[in-house]
Structure 1
Amino acid sequence: MSRPKVKKYKKPEHIKDYPVGTCFESGHLVQKNAGWRTFKPVVDKDKCVNCLRCYLVCPDGVIYKSEGKVDIDYDFCKGCGVCEYECKPGAITMVKEEK
C-alpha cells in the first residue's frame, strides 16, 4: 500500500475558495463526552455579535446557530477553550464544570 501524495499548500485566490464551516453539523459525533471536561464554554447571547468565528474554529463542530446566536451542544463539547480564545467580543467564557 503506498502513501498518499502530499500536495503543496496553495493559498486560496478568492474568498469563495475558503471553507464556510465545519465538515459536519452538531450532533454528528458518535460518542458523548465521557465526563472528563473540567471547564465548559458559556455564551453570553447579549454580547454575541453573530460573527460565527467560534463555529469555524471549533474542532468538534459542537457550535451551532440557534435563534440568531450561537449555542453549544454540551453532550459532545470537550471544553478545549478554542472558542473562548477566538471570541473577539468576549461573549464566550469558560466556566468550571459543576458535577
Structure 2
Amino acid sequence: MSRNFVTPIGDEGIYTLDTGSWRTFKPIMNKDKCIECGICMSYCPVGSITGNEQKIYTIGYEFCKGCGICAYECPSQAINMAKEGD
C-alpha cells in the first residue's frame, strides 16, 4: 500500500515529501521477537509502520527515514537498525 505524505510549501501548494530518500540506516523487523504491541507504529514519525487487524506490523521503506525511533522504543528489541544497502 502506497501512501502520500504532503507538506505545505508556501505559495507553491503541496508536494510529496520523500522522506525515504535520505535514509542511511533502515529498520529490520525480526517477526519472531515481535510481541505485536504496536509501539513501533505509534512512535514512527512518518507513519511508515502499519498494522492490520491480526496485529501484523510491517515497515514501509518508501517513506521511512531511518531515524531509529522504532528500534529504540521496541520493548522486545525486535527491530534492529542496519546500514542501508546491507
User: TM-score scaled to structure 1, two decimals?
Assistant: 0.66
How far apart are residue 95 of structure 1 and its match?
A: 0.5
Aligned residue pair count = 75
What is residue 69 of structure 1 aligned with on the other side? 56
Preserved contact between residue 40 and residue 96 of structure 1 (Cα < 8 Å)? yes
- Inter-partner Cα distance in structure 1 for 2:56 and 2:81: 18
- Inter-partner Cα distance in structure 1 for 2:66 and 2:28: 10
Which of residues 11, 23, 28 in structure 2 aligns to 1:37?
A: 23
Which protein is bigger by CA-based radius of gyration? 1
Q: What stretches of structure 2 of length at least 5 have no aligned partner?
A: 6-15
How far apart are residue 31 of structure 1 and its match?
A: 3.2
Q: What stretches of structure 1 of length at least 5 have no aligned partner?
A: 1-25
Corresponding letter in the other structure for 2:41:
Y
Q: Deviations over 1:31-67 (max 9, x none)?
A: 3345321100011011111100011111001100156
What is residue 28 of structure 1 aligned with on the other side? 4
**Would you say 1:86 and 2:62 are equivalent positions?**
no
Give the 3 Å change call, closer, same or farther, for CA 35–28 of structure 1 in structure 2: closer
User: TM-score scaled to structure 2, two decimals?
Assistant: 0.75
Say which structure is richer in strand: 2
What is residue 10 of structure 1 aligned with on the other side? none
- Inter-partner Cα distance in structure 1 for 2:55 and 2:39: 14
Preserved contact between residue 55 and residue 64 of structure 1 (Cα < 8 Å)? yes
Corresponding letter in the other structure for 1:80:
C
What is residue 54 of structure 1 aligned with on the other side? 40
